[in-house]
Amino acid sequence: MKITIITGSQRKNSNSKFVGLNLKEKLDQNFSDVSVESVCLYDAQIPYWDEDKYSDKEKWAAWSKVSEKLAQSDAFIFVVPEYNGMVPPMMTNFFLNADQGELSHKPALLVSVSAGINGVYPISELRAYSFKNNKVCFIPEHLIIRNVNDILNKEVKSKEKDYINERIDYTLPVLVEYAKALKLVRESQAVKTDKFGFGM
């Protein structure tokens, strides 16, 4: 099984990227049958969607590479910072571009990141609409990593940190089970992406 972790920050050395690396480490340590790939949207430099996407292969080479990785994945983790209460544009652009079934009927865990005590808005925004045409299945569990600088700082010990780690350890196996279950859905005759490509 392959899980791809997508980090949606627009900052070079982002906390989201480090959260993603920590999640990868936990998956690598605890699930011998799961291979983990990472896509950092800052590093990937995917162009903003335009009509050239379907004709200019060179301009869109970065996306093609990401798209291939997604197509080979069984599940996703989206690590998304809150920017002025919103999802960063690069993350929105990602969902706009994922229009070739790469994410369809595959489970995804949402993880939001805040340097303060916020972080709920990106979860609400993504759950509200972003799945419509790409048909990604956000699982009911999500994670909100508040006070992320403390959470990532190895020197800091706190009840909040213990709780977040416990919560992560609970949530990752849930995602893995959804990945097993939704594989059956994709393999079934019920899914007719050719006929009903777009959501209502």
Ligand X SMILES: Cc1cc2nc3c(=O)[nH]c(=O)nc-3n(C[C@H](O)[C@H](O)[C@H](O)COP(=O)(O)O)c2cc1C
Out of 14, 38, 92, 147, the only residue in the binding site for ligand X (CB under 6 A) is: 14
Give CA–CA dist 147/73, Å, rounded: 30
Name the burial class of residue 152, with classes exposed (0-12), middle (13-18) and buried (19+) by CB atoms within 10 angstroms of its CB.
middle
Q: Minimum Å distance from CB 11 to ligand X? A: 4
Does position 11 interact with ligand X (CB under 6 A)? The reply is yes
For residue 1, the minimal CB distance to ligand X (Å) is 27
3 binds ligand X (CB under 6 A): no
* Near ligand X by CB under 6 A: residue from 77, 90, 148, 175: 148
Q: Binding residue for ligand X (CB under 6 A) from 1, 24, 47, 83?
A: 83
Tell whether residue 81 is a contact of ligand X (CB under 6 A): yes
User: From CA 78, how far away is CA 55, in angstroms rounded?
Assistant: 28
Yes or no: say if 34 and 176 are a contact pair by the CB < 8 Å rule: yes
Give all strands of the β-sheet with 75-81 in edge-to-edge order.
35-40, 2-7, 75-81, 107-113, 137-145
The nearest distance, CB 24 to ligand X, in angstroms, is 15
Q: Which residues bind ligand X (CB under 6 A)?
A: 9, 11, 14-16, 81-85, 113-116, 118-119, 148
